[in-house]
Amino acid sequence: MLSFLEQAKAGAQVEEPLADAVRNALSRAVGSSAPPVPEFSDTESRLAYLRWLGVMSGRLNKRKTEWLERKEFLQTVWYESRRAGLDTGLVLGLIQVESNFRKFAVSPVGARGYMQVMPFWTRVIGDGDASKLFHMQTNLRFGCVILRHYVERERGDLFMALGRYNGSRGRPQYPDAVFAAGKNWDFRDPPPAPARVDPSRSADKAPSGPN
């Protein structure tokens, strides 16, 4: 193992048989090469994203000190979590617990990267190249697709899905840790400030009548 790889203490997914339809669906989900460039239907949606990016960047600053690296990471997490139908704050909480935002983290059982994806997944639903799990977007996409798969297997039960992701299904320690960490990345977009009214042009001001 390369000396710069950092050990992660999180658990790992357990390989399970997958139906062909599920395997094919997961393969398609991770196979798209679309870059994580946010697109918005209107200006307000774009501004809301930029406000989120600014707040999250401030919170992540101590862990990722380079602005461009931080921006690319957050943009990709935002894109991949939404693409998988997951809460972005929860995904950031999971990354905090799994790898503490270390791109080259490796667990004692071999899980890799930000979301601690087990190498067997690249064989089951990818091209078999486990080294790609150290590529940021590949790791985040695999992680989000796998978590989405577990959420569907658990019929929407996020607690059980997180346990399955960690290989500790049914035990509370890991889901509780992710939920707690997710609160660090919660974001509530403030409502727009009310428009300022010029008192001299107030509609309530009575018009002056004739002398």
CATH number, domain of 150, equals 1.10.530.10
Phi-psi region of 118 (alpha: psi -120 to 50; beta: other; left: phi over 0): beta
pLDDT above 50 for 133: yes
What are the E-state strand segments in the chain? 6-7, 105-106
* Dist CA 134 CA 32 (whole Å): 17
| CB < 8 Å & 24+ apart, contacts of 61-69 | 63/100, 63/101, 64/101
pLDDT above 80 for 192: no
Number of residues in the chain: 211
pLDDT above 80 for 8: no
Domain housing 107: 6-29+87-187
Residue 100 CB neighbours (<10 A): 15
**Nearest of 89, 78, 84, 73 to residue 146 by alpha carbon:** 84
pLDDT above 70 for 7: no
Q: Does a structural domain hold residue 100?
A: yes
Q: Does a structural domain hold residue 112?
A: yes
Q: Does a structural domain hold residue 42?
A: no
pLDDT above 50 for 17: yes
26's tokens: 């997961």
Q: Across residues 73-91, what is the average pLDDT?
A: 96
Q: Across residues 8-24, what is the average pLDDT?
A: 82
* Dist CA 86 CA 90 (whole Å): 8
End-to-end CA distance of the chain: 94
- The pLDDT value recorded for residue 3 is 39
Q: Across residues 55-67, what is the average pLDDT?
A: 97
Angle (CA) 188-113-50 rounded to 5° is 25
- The pLDDT value recorded for residue 63 is 95
Q: Does a structural domain hold residue 145?
A: yes
pLDDT above 80 for 87: yes
Q: Does a structural domain hold residue 36?
A: no
pLDDT above 50 for 4: no
Q: Does a structural domain hold residue 171?
A: yes
Q: Does a structural domain hold residue 210?
A: no
- The pLDDT value recorded for residue 190 is 73
Q: Percent of the chain, pLDDT > 90?
A: 68
40's tokens: 């918005």
pLDDT above 80 for 202: no
Q: Does a structural domain hold residue 78?
A: no
pLDDT above 60 for 124: yes
Report the number of distinct structural domains present in the chain.
1
The whole model's pTM is what?
A: 0.84
> Could you tell me which residue, 29 or 51, shows the higher pLDDT?
51
pLDDT band with cut points at 50, 70 and 90 for residue 16: confident
> Distances in Å between the alpha carbon of 39 and those of 79, 82, 86, 194?
10, 12, 18, 27
pLDDT above 80 for 96: yes
pLDDT above 70 for 203: no
pLDDT above 80 for 19: yes
Q: Mean pLDDT across the chain, nearest whole number?
A: 87
